[in-house]
Amino acid sequence: VQLQASGGGLVQAGGSLRLSCAGSGRTFSGYHMGWFRQAPGKEREFVGYISWSGHSIDYADSVKGRFTISRDYGANTMYLEMNSLKPEDTAVYYCVADQGAISASHDPDYWGQGTQVTVSS
């Protein structure tokens, strides 16, 4: 599975961004997908995931109510809609995929290259 993340950029606090993750190489629908992020000098952090069926979605408490994950099977693409952005959301965001569970305690098998999100105060 190859993953290509895009959509990062610079936004003011309170603003919105939508990240995309295009998947290729294998049957996209057979994989759970998700997002991690890493801020400078900090540990990598689980952001959220969406199951292969799209029926199960979960988020880290730090983004719950502000971020929304979705996927478009026809376009082989997953999205991360980020609203009410805060300076502490500044990080490199990575999309991930795995046939097994995706969570904070398990490193997914496949990683995209990352896209930078910077939120100014």
Give the confidence band of 89 by pLDDT, cuts at 50, 70, 90: very high
- Is residue 117's pLDDT more than 70? yes
- Is residue 44's pLDDT more than 70? yes
Where are the extended beta strands (E) located within the chain? 2-6, 9-12, 17-24, 32-38, 45-50, 57-59, 67-72, 77-82, 91-98, 110-111, 115-120
What integer is the mean pLDDT of 60-86? Answer: 96
What integer is the mean pLDDT of 35-59? Answer: 95
Top pLDDT among 106 and 58 is at 58
* pLDDT at 25 (0 to 100): 72
Cβ–Cβ < 8 Å for 79, 70: yes
* pLDDT at 35 (0 to 100): 98
